[in-house]
Structure 1
Amino acid sequence: MDEYKDVILSGLEECYEGIWNKVEDLTSEELRWIPSQSSNDIQWNIWHIARVEDRWINQRMKNSQELWIENNWYKHFNLKKIDHGNGDSIIKVRQMPNMELSDLKNYFEEVRKITIDYISNITPRELNNIYIAKNRSQTGIWILGHLLVEESQHLGQIAFIRGMMKGINI
Protein backbone atom coordinates (compact mmCIF):
# COMPACT_ATOMS: atom_id res chain seq x y z
CA MET A 1 0.00 0.00 0.00
CA ASP A 2 2.97 2.31 -0.33
CA GLU A 3 2.46 3.03 -4.04
CA TYR A 4 1.94 6.71 -3.21
CA LYS A 5 5.62 6.84 -2.23
CA ASP A 6 6.57 5.57 -5.68
CA VAL A 7 4.45 8.29 -7.29
CA ILE A 8 6.10 11.04 -5.24
CA LEU A 9 9.61 9.68 -5.79
CA SER A 10 9.01 9.19 -9.51
CA GLY A 11 7.86 12.80 -9.89
CA LEU A 12 10.82 14.15 -7.96
CA GLU A 13 13.22 11.98 -9.96
CA GLU A 14 11.74 13.16 -13.25
CA CYS A 15 12.28 16.78 -12.19
CA TYR A 16 15.81 16.05 -10.99
CA GLU A 17 16.83 14.27 -14.19
CA GLY A 18 15.15 16.99 -16.25
CA ILE A 19 17.23 19.68 -14.58
CA TRP A 20 20.56 18.02 -15.31
CA ASN A 21 19.55 17.08 -18.86
CA LYS A 22 18.73 20.73 -19.55
CA VAL A 23 21.98 22.16 -18.19
CA GLU A 24 24.74 19.62 -18.77
CA ASP A 25 26.05 21.40 -21.88
CA LEU A 26 25.57 25.01 -20.73
CA THR A 27 28.46 27.36 -20.03
CA SER A 28 28.71 29.32 -16.80
CA GLU A 29 27.63 32.41 -18.77
CA GLU A 30 24.55 30.60 -20.08
CA LEU A 31 23.68 29.42 -16.57
CA ARG A 32 23.56 33.08 -15.51
CA TRP A 33 21.84 34.44 -18.65
CA ILE A 34 18.57 36.28 -18.05
CA PRO A 35 15.82 36.90 -20.60
CA SER A 36 14.92 40.21 -18.94
CA GLN A 37 16.15 42.39 -16.10
CA SER A 38 13.39 41.06 -13.84
CA SER A 39 14.08 37.35 -14.42
CA ASN A 40 15.86 34.64 -12.48
CA ASP A 41 18.68 32.76 -14.17
CA ILE A 42 19.11 29.00 -14.49
CA GLN A 43 21.77 28.76 -11.78
CA TRP A 44 19.49 30.57 -9.31
CA ASN A 45 16.61 28.22 -10.15
CA ILE A 46 18.70 25.08 -9.55
CA TRP A 47 20.07 26.45 -6.28
CA HIS A 48 16.59 27.48 -5.14
CA ILE A 49 15.07 24.06 -5.94
CA ALA A 50 17.76 22.33 -3.87
CA ARG A 51 17.35 24.81 -1.01
CA VAL A 52 13.56 24.43 -0.98
CA GLU A 53 13.82 20.64 -0.86
CA ASP A 54 16.47 20.82 1.88
CA ARG A 55 14.30 23.12 4.00
CA TRP A 56 11.00 21.28 3.54
CA ILE A 57 12.38 17.81 4.13
CA ASN A 58 15.17 18.35 6.64
CA GLN A 59 14.11 21.41 8.57
CA ARG A 60 10.34 21.03 8.50
CA MET A 61 9.43 17.37 8.16
CA LYS A 62 12.45 15.76 9.85
CA ASN A 63 12.95 18.62 12.31
CA SER A 64 16.70 18.42 11.74
CA GLN A 65 19.41 20.72 10.47
CA GLU A 66 19.42 21.62 6.80
CA LEU A 67 22.37 20.14 4.90
CA TRP A 68 23.01 23.71 3.73
CA ILE A 69 24.08 24.50 7.29
CA GLU A 70 25.18 21.10 8.62
CA ASN A 71 27.64 20.51 5.78
CA ASN A 72 28.65 24.18 5.42
CA TRP A 73 27.36 24.55 1.88
CA TYR A 74 26.45 28.14 2.66
CA LYS A 75 30.14 28.84 3.34
CA HIS A 76 31.22 26.95 0.23
CA PHE A 77 28.94 29.10 -1.92
CA ASN A 78 29.76 32.29 0.01
CA LEU A 79 26.16 32.84 1.06
CA LYS A 80 24.33 33.11 4.36
CA LYS A 81 22.78 30.34 6.43
CA ILE A 82 19.36 31.91 5.94
CA ASP A 83 19.59 32.24 2.14
CA HIS A 84 17.03 30.11 0.29
CA GLY A 85 15.59 32.31 -2.44
CA ASN A 86 11.99 32.74 -1.28
CA GLY A 87 11.10 36.40 -1.57
CA ASP A 88 14.51 37.44 -2.89
CA SER A 89 14.57 40.79 -4.62
CA ILE A 90 15.92 40.86 -8.15
CA ILE A 91 18.91 42.78 -6.76
CA LYS A 92 19.69 39.89 -4.41
CA VAL A 93 19.29 37.39 -7.26
CA ARG A 94 21.80 39.37 -9.35
CA GLN A 95 24.27 39.49 -6.43
CA MET A 96 24.37 35.72 -6.10
CA PRO A 97 27.92 34.46 -6.68
CA ASN A 98 28.73 32.21 -9.61
CA MET A 99 28.63 28.56 -8.62
CA GLU A 100 30.36 25.60 -10.18
CA LEU A 101 27.63 23.41 -11.61
CA SER A 102 29.36 20.31 -10.22
CA ASP A 103 29.31 21.80 -6.70
CA LEU A 104 25.66 22.72 -7.04
CA LYS A 105 24.91 19.20 -8.21
CA ASN A 106 26.84 17.72 -5.27
CA TYR A 107 24.77 19.76 -2.81
CA PHE A 108 21.54 18.79 -4.54
CA GLU A 109 22.59 15.10 -4.61
CA GLU A 110 23.15 15.18 -0.84
CA VAL A 111 19.72 16.70 -0.34
CA ARG A 112 18.06 14.28 -2.74
CA LYS A 113 19.60 11.24 -1.03
CA ILE A 114 18.05 12.32 2.28
CA THR A 115 14.73 13.07 0.56
CA ILE A 116 14.57 9.63 -1.07
CA ASP A 117 15.37 7.89 2.21
CA TYR A 118 12.83 9.96 4.13
CA ILE A 119 9.99 9.51 1.65
CA SER A 120 10.76 5.79 1.26
CA ASN A 121 10.25 5.34 4.99
CA ILE A 122 7.56 7.93 5.71
CA THR A 123 4.58 6.76 7.74
CA PRO A 124 0.93 7.70 7.26
CA ARG A 125 1.16 9.52 10.60
CA GLU A 126 4.02 11.70 9.31
CA LEU A 127 2.02 12.46 6.18
CA ASN A 128 -0.87 13.68 8.30
CA ASN A 129 1.24 15.54 10.87
CA ILE A 130 0.95 19.29 10.99
CA TYR A 131 4.29 20.98 10.35
CA ILE A 132 4.59 24.59 11.45
CA ALA A 133 6.73 27.07 9.54
CA LYS A 134 6.65 30.62 10.83
CA ASN A 135 2.95 31.47 11.01
CA ARG A 136 1.81 28.75 8.62
CA SER A 137 1.03 25.13 9.20
CA GLN A 138 0.80 22.40 6.60
CA THR A 139 0.42 18.65 6.57
CA GLY A 140 3.11 16.36 5.25
CA ILE A 141 0.78 15.56 2.35
CA TRP A 142 0.62 19.25 1.43
CA ILE A 143 4.40 19.69 1.74
CA LEU A 144 5.21 16.78 -0.58
CA GLY A 145 2.59 17.89 -3.10
CA HIS A 146 3.95 21.42 -2.96
CA LEU A 147 7.49 20.15 -3.45
CA LEU A 148 6.45 18.40 -6.67
CA VAL A 149 4.65 21.50 -7.95
CA GLU A 150 7.45 23.92 -7.05
CA GLU A 151 10.19 21.78 -8.56
CA SER A 152 8.12 21.29 -11.72
CA GLN A 153 7.53 25.03 -12.03
CA HIS A 154 11.21 25.84 -11.69
CA LEU A 155 12.16 23.06 -14.13
CA GLY A 156 9.78 24.74 -16.57
CA GLN A 157 11.56 28.05 -16.02
CA ILE A 158 14.91 26.37 -16.65
CA ALA A 159 13.62 24.80 -19.87
CA PHE A 160 12.11 28.12 -20.99
CA ILE A 161 15.34 30.07 -20.42
CA ARG A 162 17.36 27.37 -22.15
CA GLY A 163 14.93 27.42 -25.07
CA MET A 164 15.30 31.17 -25.41
CA MET A 165 19.06 30.76 -25.70
CA LYS A 166 19.35 27.57 -27.73
CA GLY A 167 16.00 26.96 -29.40
CA ILE A 168 13.46 24.37 -28.47
CA ASN A 169 14.60 20.95 -29.53
CA ILE A 170 18.24 21.26 -28.61
Structure 2
Amino acid sequence: MNHATVLADAFGRIRELVHEILDDIAPHALTFRPDSEANTVAWLIWHLTRVQDDHVSGVAGSDQVWTADGWEARFGLPFESSAIGYGQNAEEVAEVTASAELLRDYHDAVHARTVAYVESLSAAELDRVVDDNWDPPVTLGVRLVSVVSDDLQHAGQAAYVRGMFQRHG
Protein backbone atom coordinates (compact mmCIF):
# COMPACT_ATOMS: atom_id res chain seq x y z
CA MET A 1 0.00 0.00 0.00
CA ASN A 2 1.41 3.41 -0.90
CA HIS A 3 1.10 6.76 0.84
CA ALA A 4 -1.80 7.98 -1.34
CA THR A 5 -3.81 4.84 -0.65
CA VAL A 6 -3.22 5.15 3.09
CA LEU A 7 -4.28 8.81 3.13
CA ALA A 8 -7.33 8.16 0.94
CA ASP A 9 -8.32 5.31 3.26
CA ALA A 10 -7.96 7.54 6.34
CA PHE A 11 -10.13 10.26 4.84
CA GLY A 12 -12.56 7.58 3.68
CA ARG A 13 -12.97 6.40 7.26
CA ILE A 14 -13.94 9.92 8.29
CA ARG A 15 -16.54 9.98 5.52
CA GLU A 16 -17.92 6.61 6.65
CA LEU A 17 -18.28 7.90 10.21
CA VAL A 18 -19.98 11.08 9.04
CA HIS A 19 -22.48 9.00 7.07
CA GLU A 20 -23.10 6.63 10.00
CA ILE A 21 -23.76 9.59 12.30
CA LEU A 22 -26.08 11.36 9.87
CA ASP A 23 -27.96 8.33 8.51
CA ASP A 24 -31.50 8.21 9.86
CA ILE A 25 -30.79 10.89 12.46
CA ALA A 26 -33.83 12.67 13.85
CA PRO A 27 -33.80 16.32 12.73
CA HIS A 28 -33.92 17.62 16.31
CA ALA A 29 -31.01 15.32 17.25
CA LEU A 30 -28.78 17.47 15.03
CA THR A 31 -29.15 20.42 17.41
CA PHE A 32 -29.42 18.49 20.69
CA ARG A 33 -27.09 19.78 23.40
CA PRO A 34 -26.36 17.79 26.56
CA ASP A 35 -25.91 21.17 28.24
CA SER A 36 -26.00 24.81 27.16
CA GLU A 37 -22.28 24.93 26.32
CA ALA A 38 -22.02 21.61 24.46
CA ASN A 39 -21.38 21.24 20.76
CA THR A 40 -24.15 19.82 18.61
CA VAL A 41 -23.93 17.06 16.02
CA ALA A 42 -24.65 19.62 13.29
CA TRP A 43 -21.89 21.95 14.46
CA LEU A 44 -19.37 19.13 14.90
CA ILE A 45 -19.95 17.74 11.41
CA TRP A 46 -19.91 21.24 9.88
CA HIS A 47 -16.74 22.11 11.78
CA LEU A 48 -14.81 18.95 10.94
CA THR A 49 -15.74 19.38 7.30
CA ARG A 50 -14.78 23.08 7.31
CA VAL A 51 -11.39 22.22 8.87
CA GLN A 52 -10.74 19.59 6.20
CA ASP A 53 -11.86 21.98 3.44
CA ASP A 54 -9.77 24.87 4.78
CA HIS A 55 -6.60 22.94 5.55
CA VAL A 56 -6.51 20.74 2.46
CA SER A 57 -7.32 23.59 0.09
CA GLY A 58 -4.64 25.62 1.84
CA VAL A 59 -1.88 23.08 1.20
CA ALA A 60 -3.23 22.30 -2.28
CA GLY A 61 -3.28 25.97 -3.23
CA SER A 62 -6.91 25.73 -4.36
CA ASP A 63 -10.16 27.49 -3.51
CA GLN A 64 -12.24 26.06 -0.72
CA VAL A 65 -15.26 24.01 -1.70
CA TRP A 66 -17.18 26.13 0.85
CA THR A 67 -16.94 29.30 -1.22
CA ALA A 68 -16.06 28.06 -4.72
CA ASP A 69 -18.96 25.63 -4.97
CA GLY A 70 -21.64 27.70 -3.21
CA TRP A 71 -21.89 25.81 0.07
CA GLU A 72 -21.56 28.99 2.10
CA ALA A 73 -24.75 30.34 0.51
CA ARG A 74 -26.58 27.01 0.93
CA PHE A 75 -25.83 26.93 4.65
CA GLY A 76 -26.65 30.63 5.11
CA LEU A 77 -24.71 30.93 8.36
CA PRO A 78 -24.09 34.35 9.94
CA PHE A 79 -20.30 33.84 9.96
CA GLU A 80 -17.45 35.23 7.93
CA SER A 81 -16.60 33.15 4.84
CA SER A 82 -13.34 32.14 6.48
CA ALA A 83 -15.01 30.75 9.64
CA ILE A 84 -14.22 27.11 10.32
CA GLY A 85 -15.61 26.93 13.85
CA TYR A 86 -12.35 27.38 15.72
CA GLY A 87 -12.93 29.47 18.84
CA GLN A 88 -16.68 29.80 18.36
CA ASN A 89 -18.80 30.32 21.45
CA ALA A 90 -21.99 28.54 22.50
CA GLU A 91 -24.25 31.03 20.72
CA GLU A 92 -22.35 30.57 17.45
CA VAL A 93 -22.50 26.78 17.82
CA ALA A 94 -26.29 27.09 18.07
CA GLU A 95 -26.40 28.93 14.73
CA VAL A 96 -25.47 25.75 12.82
CA THR A 97 -28.87 24.17 12.21
CA ALA A 98 -28.27 22.47 8.86
CA SER A 99 -30.09 19.34 7.77
CA ALA A 100 -28.38 15.96 7.72
CA GLU A 101 -28.61 15.97 3.92
CA LEU A 102 -26.88 19.34 3.60
CA LEU A 103 -24.13 18.34 6.04
CA ARG A 104 -23.61 15.00 4.27
CA ASP A 105 -23.54 16.57 0.81
CA TYR A 106 -21.03 19.24 1.83
CA HIS A 107 -18.85 16.62 3.50
CA ASP A 108 -18.99 14.41 0.39
CA ALA A 109 -17.96 17.33 -1.83
CA VAL A 110 -14.99 18.11 0.43
CA HIS A 111 -14.10 14.43 0.66
CA ALA A 112 -14.04 14.06 -3.12
CA ARG A 113 -11.73 17.08 -3.45
CA THR A 114 -9.49 15.79 -0.63
CA VAL A 115 -9.14 12.30 -2.10
CA ALA A 116 -8.38 13.68 -5.55
CA TYR A 117 -5.66 15.83 -4.00
CA VAL A 118 -4.02 13.12 -1.87
CA GLU A 119 -4.10 10.69 -4.78
CA SER A 120 -2.17 13.22 -6.87
CA LEU A 121 0.70 13.52 -4.37
CA SER A 122 4.11 11.94 -4.73
CA ALA A 123 5.78 10.54 -1.64
CA ALA A 124 8.44 13.27 -1.82
CA GLU A 125 5.77 16.00 -1.64
CA LEU A 126 4.80 14.85 1.86
CA ASP A 127 8.11 16.28 3.10
CA ARG A 128 7.32 19.78 1.78
CA VAL A 129 7.15 22.34 4.59
CA VAL A 130 3.72 23.95 4.63
CA ASP A 131 3.98 25.92 7.89
CA ASP A 132 7.23 27.23 9.31
CA ASN A 133 5.58 28.89 12.31
CA TRP A 134 6.29 25.75 14.36
CA ASP A 135 9.45 24.12 15.60
CA PRO A 136 9.95 21.80 13.87
CA PRO A 137 8.22 23.20 10.78
CA VAL A 138 5.07 21.37 9.71
CA THR A 139 5.33 19.23 6.59
CA LEU A 140 2.50 18.38 4.23
CA GLY A 141 2.41 14.82 5.59
CA VAL A 142 2.12 16.04 9.17
CA ARG A 143 -0.61 18.54 8.24
CA LEU A 144 -2.68 15.86 6.51
CA VAL A 145 -2.35 13.48 9.45
CA SER A 146 -3.32 16.35 11.77
CA VAL A 147 -6.51 16.91 9.76
CA VAL A 148 -7.32 13.20 9.91
CA SER A 149 -6.76 13.17 13.67
CA ASP A 150 -8.85 16.28 14.30
CA ASP A 151 -11.69 15.08 12.08
CA LEU A 152 -11.79 11.63 13.68
CA GLN A 153 -11.95 13.18 17.15
CA HIS A 154 -14.85 15.44 16.16
CA ALA A 155 -16.67 12.59 14.42
CA GLY A 156 -16.34 10.56 17.61
CA GLN A 157 -17.74 13.47 19.60
CA ALA A 158 -20.68 13.77 17.19
CA ALA A 159 -21.37 10.05 17.51
CA TYR A 160 -21.30 10.38 21.29
CA VAL A 161 -23.75 13.32 21.27
CA ARG A 162 -26.04 11.40 18.93
CA GLY A 163 -25.92 8.44 21.33
CA MET A 164 -26.75 10.72 24.26
CA PHE A 165 -29.74 12.06 22.35
CA GLN A 166 -30.96 8.55 21.56
CA ARG A 167 -30.76 7.53 25.23
CA HIS A 168 -32.09 10.75 26.75
CA GLY A 169 -33.64 12.82 23.94
Say yes or no: TM over 0.5.
Answer: yes
Measured in 2, the distance between the counterparts of 1:109 and 1:160 equals 21
Give a deviation string over 1:35-89, Cα, whole Å, max 9, x none: 111110000111111111111111x211111111111211211133122101111
Measured in 1, the distance between the counterparts of 2:101 and 2:83 equals 20
- Structure 1 ranges of 4+ moved more than 3 A: none
Identity across the alignment (%): 24
Please name the residue that 1:71 is paired with: 69
Secondary structure at the aligned position of 1:83 is classed as coil
Q: Is the aligned partner of 1:99 residue 2:74?
A: no
Please name the residue that 2:10 is paired with: 11
The answer on whether the counterparts of 2:11 and 2:115 sit within 8 Å (CA) in structure 1 is no
Please name the residue that 2:60 is paired with: 62
Give a deviation string over 1:96-137, Cα, whole Å, max 9, x none: 3x212212222111111111111111123321112139x555
Greater RCO (CA < 8 Å, at least 6 residues apart) = 2
Measured in 2, the distance between the counterparts of 1:94 and 1:103 equals 16
Deviation at 1:26, TM superposition (A): 1.2
Q: Give the alignment's TM-score, normalised by structure 2.
A: 0.88
Please name the residue that 1:124 is paired with: 123
Partner AA of 1:140 in structure 2: L
Deviation at 1:165, TM superposition (A): 1.8
Structure 1: stretches of 5+ with no match in the other structure: none
Measured in 2, the distance between the counterparts of 1:125 and 1:52 equals 24
- How many residues align? The count is 163
Measured in 1, the distance between the counterparts of 2:145 and 2:121 equals 14
Query: What's the C-alpha RMSD, in Å, of the aligned pairs?
Result: 1.7
Secondary structure at the aligned position of 1:164 is classed as helix
Please name the residue that 2:141 is paired with: 141
Measured in 1, the distance between the counterparts of 2:123 and 2:24 equals 41
Secondary structure at the aligned position of 1:64 is classed as coil
Deviation at 1:11, TM superposition (A): 1.9
Measured in 1, the distance between the counterparts of 2:3 and 2:123 equals 11
